Structure 1
Amino acid sequence: MSTKWISHTNGICWEESALMNVAGFCHGVTGRSGGVSMNGYGSLNLALHVGDNADYVRENRRRLCKTAGFSLSRLTTSQQTHGDNIVAVGLTEAGCGSASYEEALPHTDALMTNFPGIPLALFVADCVPVILYDPVHKACAVIHDGWRGTAAKLAAKTVFAMRIAYGTRPSDMLAYIGPSISWKYFEVGPATEQVFNSMGTTFSSCIIQKDTKCFIDLWAANRIMLEEAGICPEHIDVTENCVYDNEDKFFSYRRDQGITGRMAVFAKL
């Protein structure tokens, strides 16, 4: 299990799963360099809903799409709400949100498709990005998985949705848990602790008590969830990049106190 850091001469970088790279699957979680955004959004902010200049964001998206080799006009995004809604993207949805937040798919935190040539993208800064790939039935998904999505078992629900929609067998799937906040910076209150305790003993093991403080390991929680959904442990790659720790590489909502850009978690068949 490992990841790869991909750097391009134009400054754009992303992390990707080594397993998915070997499988020839186009995917990644971007870093923060190589764009035109300024101040707290510098420089590759890819989200249109965080207060950045929209023209800068569209230029950043154009640069990413050109670098990754896919079409900006077909880039499909959503209005994320920390829920558990999943949308199957087809030709009708292709391109929703590519240039306008208002035209993004509403109230959606996971996108999946079996159509080639339709890039999917969601946006993160601390929340866990998860990518799923079925190399047999040629289907994929991107997931925005904060603590609420994790508590709602969004990643497992997406595995199930791919089984129903595409005939995916979890044993065939590859999964990647990408750069996000690590447990040592994800302190939570009693209410959130109770939510994870109520999920069962396997998930309560992701709660870390340190002195009088409580922390949640979202990487471990999502890994447990994917394994329980039937994905083979050896088919799951997990990042070692904490976005809070790596200010030069990534945005972090907590570290930057809310004024910050967003990385993209992207995938394309």
Structure 2
Amino acid sequence: MSLERVLLGEIPAYRFTRLTRVRHAIFTRHGGVSQPPFDTLNVSWAVGDDEAAVRENVRRLYAALGADATRAVRVRMVHGTRVALVGAADAGKRLPDTDGLITAERRLPLAMTFGDCQPLVLYDPEHHAVGLAHAGWRGTLGGIALSLVRAMQVAFGARPERLQAFLGPAIGVCCYEVGENVARAARTWPGGDAWLHERDGRLFFDLSAANRALFQRMGVEVIEDAGLCTACRTDEFFSYRREKPATGRFGVIVELS
């Protein structure tokens, strides 16, 4: 597996072994102070958790990673495809209606929260630039992987064949049952039928396969997949689909050192 589980102080997290030049962590649901059903390391204020608990959880995340929480760039995610280029002037901001961030600024944490959607990390080793995106089915089939690559090309002159893409833990095709609306959207893409699996008359969508195919469509050659299903692994991650109506969100932070 290209992902390793580590302890950052007393906080468990996952990291991509190949992504050595980017300080990053995919945090789990463990190591925080939130009470059920947000137990314990929920880092979203939007799910109904106690605000003081979330504040302490967020503090623990940044302390564990050695990153400055006051400089973090956050987003209000809308399951769209907007990708924003951020720099020093954006430190500490929360950008509206944004599902992707890219930067070449060092010590500028990019942060998002997840609960089944797929974290996408894109690294450009030539220009030492990094991107982070949030990809549910709408963002995935809207082409946020393409938007992320294009943003890197425009901002930094990135060459797709030199980029490295990393697909984080997300709900897997084993568990992601969808309706005909998702199937129709998938079939608008060449090869999109391959992202759909039918079992017992029910349709399941493969987020990882779709995002991998879209990165490949842009010419990205190095693509690594965490291979972890959040709905199967509620021992490690929050899963809205498995635990709804109320559960937390786990955090992902990337930062250029």
Query: TM-score normalized by structure 2?
Result: 0.96
Q: Which residue of 1 aligns with 2:200?
A: 211
Q: Which residue of 2 aligns with 1:241?
A: 228
Q: Which residue of 2 aligns with 1:185?
A: 175
* Corresponding residue SS for 2:14: strand
Aligned-pair CA distance for 1:227: 1.1
Q: Which residue of 1 aligns with 2:74?
A: 77
Distance 1:68 1:43 in 2: 18
Q: Which residue of 2 aligns with 1:16?
A: 15
- After superposition, the C-alpha distances for 1:157-200 in whole angstroms (9 at most, x for unaligned) are 11111110111111221111011100111111111111101112
Amino acid at match of 1:210: R
Q: Which residue of 2 aligns with 1:117?
A: 107
Q: Which residue of 1 aligns with 2:36?
A: 39
1:67 equivalent in alignment to 2:64: yes
Residues 1-269 of structure 1 aligned to structure 2 (within 5 Å): 2-10=2-10, 12-21=11-20, 24-96=21-93, 104-200=94-190, 202-232=191-221, 235-269=222-256
Aligned-pair CA distance for 1:258: 2.8
- After superposition, the C-alpha distances for 1:181-234 in whole angstroms (9 at most, x for unaligned) are 00111111111111101112x2221110112001110011101111111111xx
Query: Quick check: 1:174–1:236 contact (8 Å CA) kept in 2?
Result: yes
Q: Which residue of 2 aligns with 1:99?
A: none
Distance 2:110 2:37 in 1: 25
Which one has the bigger strand percentage?
A: 2
* Corresponding residue SS for 1:260: coil
Query: Quick check: 1:19–1:174 contact (8 Å CA) kept in 2?
Result: no
Distance 1:259 1:182 in 2: 20
Distance 1:47 1:15 in 2: 19
Distance 1:123 1:149 in 2: 15
Task: Calculate percent identity across the aligned residue pairs.
Answer: 36
* Corresponding residue SS for 1:5: strand
* Corresponding residue SS for 2:46: coil
Query: Quick check: 1:15–1:178 contact (8 Å CA) kept in 2?
Result: no
Distance 1:173 1:28 in 2: 19
The two structures, once aligned, show a CA RMSD in angstroms of 1.2
Please, which runs of 5 or more residues in structure 1 have no aligned partner?
97-103
* Corresponding residue SS for 1:179: coil
Please, which runs of 5 or more residues in structure 2 have no aligned partner?
none
Query: Quick check: 2:45–2:51 contact (8 Å CA) kept in 1?
Result: yes
